[in-house]
Structure 1
Amino acid sequence: MGCNAIQNTLYPLDNDEFVIAFGSCNRQDQENHLWDDVVANKPSVWIWGGDNIYSDTDDLREMRKDYEEQRYQNGYKEVRKSMDIIGTWDDHDYGLNDGGREWAFKDQAQELFLNFLEVPKHDPRWNQKGVYDAKTYHTPQGDVKIIVLDTRYFRSPLTKNLGDDGKRFMPNPYGEGTILGEVQWAWLENELNTSQASFNIIVSSIQFLSNKHGFETWGNFPSEVEKLVDLIKSSKAERVIILSGDRHISEFSQINISDLDYPLIDFTSSGLTHTYEAFSGEQNPYRVGEVVKEKSFGLLRLNLKNYRATLQMIGDGNKVLNELEQAY
């Protein structure tokens, strides 16, 4: 189905549920054993959460070849046939590890990314800077809106950590730097302010809540975190859930926010073909439950009748590795 699905298509529900699958950190040169499990759950949409291929290069022919290798893998071909596909990128498919706005080849990389997603030529992303996008899925019982952010194209430089604690970055001084850039922030504000959807899913390639690990996170830009929280509150958008990747581990994080009558969840799902198998723990003040370091993808079952969300980490053999339920 790809990105050619018509915006006003009416998507059927399964037991009143709209099903979304997503994942990140996928090496095109390694076999992904999860695609059959993705298809078995019959999601309406697959979301690429970033690092969809590993192609840290300024050789665009090499990056194109890496995308083609992924596109025609047997398991992924079944995904392409059976569900809508949307997504964002992270650093390894952007072309530069930990890269931001300084990457000289970002426009060329964007063209290859849009080709990989089979984005129609009339789509605004072909004429905009950055790969951010929003799509509303209509169902018989209400809408689900998926807002896909670009945390690479506009992102300001990170502050390197000079200490010996193993952390790569430290937070910028409050108010310095941006993740989304002025134009994307204005776009996001409009998307949330005008949303009539029953659920609003925000996709960020990097974690939003977990902020103590010293790698890439929204927490490296404290004022940007505050700005998004304030926007979620002021927009009155219903039932916002954040999806993230990047970390080679999967975890649930959540925070209670004043003036928001539900906890804000950040569901991190990473990775699809390789994980941080030696993970032995790290501080995350917002974590709920245990970290999963097995290969997995994320599954969201959004009940549009009773307004419940079931969030699952699914491993090989369709095994549920972790689960979180939230009533709204």
Structure 2
Amino acid sequence: MKHLIHIFLLGFLMYGCKSKQGVHLGDSPDSTKHRPDFSIAFGSCNKPGMENVFWDDILQARPDVFIWGGDNVYADTDDVSEIEDFYKAQHQVPGYAALKEQVMVTGTWDDHDYGANDAGVEFPSKKGSQNAFLNFLEVPKDDARRLREGVYSSQVLTKPGGTLKIINLDTRYFRTAITPDKREGRRYRPNTYGDGTLLGETQWKWLENELNTSKADFNLIVSSIQFLSDLHGWEKWANHPHEVDRLKKVIVASGAKGVMILSGDRHISEFSRATVPGLPYPLIDFTASGLTHAYTGFSGEENPYRIGEVVAQNNYGHITLDTDTKTVRFRIMGDGGKVLQELKQAY
């Protein structure tokens, strides 16, 4: 078990139910002015057939929302009926069944829900897979996601103290080819600058609008793959380096408050932080992976943006946001509510 690591950062912001329309959340009877306004749990890399010890812990944390970060059920097949069976199996996990009855659930998918390892725009069953994923999240039949390509979405959560916007990205449906890397211990290297897309132009325009029009106190962008960590040889935003630059520019130009990124995929958990020119607070990418299995043999990997240490054991992410003090507390959580690592950021 790793020792608890407290990391305190300062970065002051200098700017002053499951539907897109938003969710209004009342304070609990025992809440006080010192209780954080929003509590979010999220996780990735989950197999319904493996033991998952976290659902009761997550319920006890009393989150306002649980966010799936991708690789939610490991449905690696192009047979949509089989994909649906994996989702049904997850619904039958007692702890998860209890959670979704009491807590709002949202999120995105990754390749092992989409249907094939590292798959992108070329995957032949993507339309059927999208429908299965939306059914898993119990998305209403009249939701915009039922009428368009891709599972990207946004929700606005409102409490008396302020608002939180969750922006779920789809890094699968539109992602074009990435460049293989034949070096040992690596699978991909960055594309030539300007070559290919991760989000596709339609989703890019949507994302720009979501940030440009956001009035929320905090904005969470959910990406199934890591955004900041850029030196490893696996899937990452940095395989499309021009789109990394584009997202940074979009965030800065929007003036959106308290933008942060959540990611999964890696079977390890870590905090990454970057200074972005023109952004009056650090950009944080919180990776939490995985719920049922982790890369316990992890022996090191360069990440110039890492804050603290890598956690290579089963875990989930917990975030609390205080709209009064404009602070966010990020925690990597182990079994039994044990905090494995923590970061506190002022915005």
Q: Shorter-chain TM-score: which interval?
A: over 0.9
Amino acid at match of 1:35: W
Q: Aligned partners of 1:52 and 1:11: how far apart in 2?
A: 29
- Tell me, what secondary structure is at the counterpart of 1:253? strand
CA RMSD of aligned residues (A): 1.2
1:196 to 2:215 alignment: yes
1:292 to 2:290 alignment: no
Kept in 2, the 8 Å contact 1:39–1:79? The answer is: yes
Output aligned runs, 1:176-215, within 5 Å: 176-215=195-234
Kept in 1, the 8 Å contact 2:19–2:155? The answer is: no
Q: Aligned partners of 1:247 and 1:308: how far apart in 2?
A: 27
Output aligned runs, 1:223-262, within 5 Å: 223-262=242-281
Q: Aligned partners of 1:19 and 1:102: how far apart in 2?
A: 37
Amino acid at match of 2:118: D
1:283 to 2:302 alignment: yes
Residue in structure 1 matched with residue 119 of structure 2 by the alignment: 99
- 1:274-305 per-residue CA deviation (whole Å, 9 max, x = no partner) reads 00010011010100000001111000100011
Q: In the comparison of the two structures, how many residue pairs are matched?
A: 326
Residue in structure 1 matched with residue 185 of structure 2 by the alignment: 166
Q: Aligned partners of 1:217 and 1:5: how far apart in 2?
A: 27
1:217 to 2:232 alignment: no
Please, which moves more after superposition, 208-217 or 8-17? 8-17
Change (3 A) 1:280 1:325: same
Segments of 5+ residues of structure 2 without an aligned counterpart are 1-16
Residue in structure 1 matched with residue 12 of structure 2 by the alignment: none
Kept in 1, the 8 Å contact 2:20–2:156? The answer is: no
Residue in structure 1 matched with residue 25 of structure 2 by the alignment: 10
Pairing partner for 2:321 from 298, 302, 314 = 302
Q: Aligned partners of 1:5 and 1:268: how far apart in 2?
A: 25
Amino acid at match of 1:66: F
- Tell me, what secondary structure is at the counterpart of 1:111? helix
Higher relative CO (CA 8 A, sep ≥ 6), structure 1 or 2?
2
- Tell me, what secondary structure is at the counterpart of 2:39? strand
Q: Aligned partners of 1:229 and 1:115: how far apart in 2?
A: 32
Amino acid at match of 2:18: C
Output aligned runs, 1:77-88, within 5 Å: 77-88=97-108
- 1:157-205 per-residue CA deviation (whole Å, 9 max, x = no partner) reads 0100023x31100000001111000000000000000000000000000
- Tell me, what secondary structure is at the counterpart of 2:231? coil
Residue in structure 1 matched with residue 345 of structure 2 by the alignment: 326
Kept in 1, the 8 Å contact 2:36–2:320? The answer is: no
Change (3 A) 1:128 1:37: same
Q: Aligned partners of 1:184 and 1:320: how far apart in 2?
A: 36
Deviation, 1:211, is 1.1
Change (3 A) 1:86 1:72: same
Q: Aligned partners of 2:147 and 2:209: how far apart in 1?
A: 19
Segments of 5+ residues of structure 1 without an aligned counterpart are none
Residue in structure 1 matched with residue 59 of structure 2 by the alignment: 39
- Tell me, what secondary structure is at the counterpart of 1:3? coil
Q: Aligned partners of 1:233 and 1:25: how far apart in 2?
A: 31
Amino acid at match of 2:293: H
Amino acid at match of 1:9: H
Residue in structure 2 matched with residue 49 of structure 1 by the alignment: 69
Pairing partner for 1:61 from 73, 81, 85 = 81
Amino acid at match of 1:3: K
Q: Aligned partners of 2:132 and 2:23: how far apart in 1?
A: 27
Pairing partner for 2:332 from 313, 317, 320 = 313
- 1:75-119 per-residue CA deviation (whole Å, 9 max, x = no partner) reads 001110111000100000000100000000000000000000000
Residue in structure 2 matched with residue 264 of structure 1 by the alignment: 283
TM-score after normalising by structure 2: 0.92
Same amino acid, percent of matched pairs: 53
